[in-house]
Amino acid sequence: MSTIKVSLFSQVLKQIDRSIFNRLVEKHKTVKYSKGINTWTHFVSMLFMQFSKVDSLRDISNGLRSATGNLSHLGVKNAPCKSSFSYINQHRKALFFEELYFELLEQLEPCLAKRRKYAHRLKRKIFIMDSSIIPLCLSLFDWAKFRTKKGAIKLHAVLDYDTGLPSYAAITDGKKHDVKVAIDTVFPRDSVLVVDRAYVDYAWLYNLDSSGVFYVTRLKSNADIEIVECFLTNQKHEHVLNDEDLRLTGIYSSQKYPKKLRIVKVYDKENDQTLILLTNNLS
């Protein structure tokens, strides 16, 4: 049976806004069929399970019972028994905990509120992929060879734009090219992947297109292209300077990606920069 320090656990629980919690309890009517286990006790028990890394209802019940006398610090009167806990897991809707998660996420990370609203408007799942070099002391980590006198590892991560949380991460040596890791990553159909120019590998991009995945990246300055058709930009979008369909004309690039592509030239006022975005979303 695993246990955690009650004092630390209570400090974590104090970060939960009880007004938000109580409002969602009222909204979802989670007190119905409670079997004597109110929603807060259920919530505390589930968190206890995660923090203690226990894998059975018996361990959750026994673990909370071992904290008798300290349960009041957690806002819990009695530790639930195994059978009652099993019943409440079957009958209390998980939607309550899902909404609680996103409510707390937006409260603790306010910038996500606007981002999620924008993501919902797009009606597609958006993923952002990038990598970061983590420097290491080569004399201490001689296996992490990166430069002649520098050591490093590379963190490759995929961020879920909707939640602001990582959905995938991989750690490699510092010399590993970004595309080598990206090739082995699978994305849901109809989702949108945003990457920088380091990921412009036409064979991989064509594979994404064949899998029904949309992508947005930046056109390389040395790309050999032929403009197929130009479109007038909507006056409502003053930052959009140009919108064109194109084909790759390079010997190898045209073989790797034979289909049409689209470039949208936009002006970034904040950084006083013009960006040429490359995408397979032609609509």
| pTM score, whole prediction | 0.67
Residue pLDDT, tens place only, 246-269: 999 999 999 999 999 999 999 988
Looking at 81, 108, 135, which one is the last position of a domain?
A: 108
Distance (Å, rounded) from C-alpha 135 to C-alpha 147? 10
Helix ranges (H only) for 149-200 are 178-182
Q: From the CB of residue 112, how many other CB atoms can be counted at a distance below 10 Å?
A: 19
**What is the C-alpha to C-alpha distance for residues 278 and 253, in angstroms, rounded to an integer?**
14
The low-confidence residues of the chain, meaning pLDDT below 70, are 1-6, 33, 68-69, 113, 115-120, 233-236
Question: Within this chain, do residues 102 and 127 fall inside the same structural domain, yes or no?
Answer: no
Q: Are residues 184 and 249 in the same domain?
A: no
202, 231: one domain: no
Residue 85 shares a structural domain with residue 133: no
Which residue range is the domain that position 133 belongs to?
113-216
Domain boundary residue, one of 76, 93, 108 = 108
Q: Are both 59 and 119 inside the same structural domain?
A: no
Are 117 and 104 contained in the same domain? no
- Which backbone phi and psi does 277 adopt, to 5 degrees? -90, 140
Q: What is the pLDDT of residues 189-215, one digit of tens each?
A: 999 999 999 999 999 999 999 999 999
Q: Establish if 132 belongs to a structural domain.
A: yes
H or E stretch covering 112? helix 111-122
Residue finishing a domain among 171, 199, 216: 216
